[in-house]
Amino acid sequence: MATNHLQSLVQNAKLGHVDSFGKIYDLLVDRIYRFIYFRVDTKEETEDLTEEVFYKVYQKIQDYCDEGLPFEAWIFRIARNQIIDYYRTKKDLSSFDDKIEIEDTGPTPEEYTVKSILQEEVLRAVKKLPDSYQELIILKFIEGKDNDEIGGIINKPEAHVRVLQSRSLKALKKVLEKDKKI
């Protein structure tokens, strides 16, 4: 995606051009959806959060200043905060959830045939990791972002991202070894 094109869309969106918001949505929805998908439990939650992220973008776009943080990183930061809020709310409601018998949301045998079992196991292993490791693995190894941009998204220095990267990979390896799946 041409960064300049995105920047001009952002400028127009700031001026209140609704079409530009639509184009920003088209450009980034897949990435934001995927980022959320790997962090939450269900497709429905992913969809809800994705919608909310774009609405937040609309609400906060006047605050966005393109000095330093690229717009895409800024949007990922919003998505990240949205996920944090989601888990915070979920934690608050967990006392109620404990009393409700929740339907198993794991993949059905049919789904297994479609999905790569290996992919599924790795994804499950990723979801067992602490939040910061999950975040880094998704941004670095799935989305292919560089350390600078990740630093911008998680609001940490690049050196911290490097340390986190090494630790998260080690942790993932450990989980997979424990499961003996890879």
Partner 1 sequence: MKENILITLKSLKGMSEASPSSTFKRNSRARFIERINQETSLVLPKRSISTRWAYSFAFAAILLFFTGSTVFAAQSSLPSDPLYPVKVASEKVALALSSPIPSLKSIIAEELVKRRENEYKELEKNNRQDLLEKAYDSYQKSLKDAKGVGSTKNENVLRPNSQLKQEKSSPDKKITPTDAPNTPKSNRGNTQKSVTETTKENQKDGVGSSGNSQKPQDSNSNSKSNK
Interior/surface letters 115-143, b for 16+ CB within 10 angstroms, e for the rest: eeeeeebbeebbeebeeebbbbbbbbeeb
The token duo for 97 is 């959830």
Q: Given candidates 91, 173, 174, 178, which one binds partner 1 under the rule CB under 8 A? A: 173
Considering beta carbons, is residue 65 or 114 the nearer one to partner 1? 114
Q: Is 100 in the site for partner 1 (CB under 8 A)?
A: no
Q: Is 144 in the site for partner 1 (CB under 8 A)?
A: yes
Integer Cα distance of 64 and 81 in angstroms: 15
Q: Given candidates 15, 65, 100, 102, which one binds partner 1 under the rule CB under 8 A? A: 15
Residues 79-98 that bind partner 1 (CB under 8 A): none
Residues written for the chain: 182
The token duo for 109 is 């045998």
3-state class (DSSP) for residue 115: coil
Contact residues: partner 1, CB under 8 A: 14-16, 18, 21-22, 25-26, 29-30, 33-34, 37-38, 43, 46-47, 50-51, 54-55, 58, 62, 114-116, 118-119, 122-123, 126, 137, 141-144, 169, 172-173, 176, 182
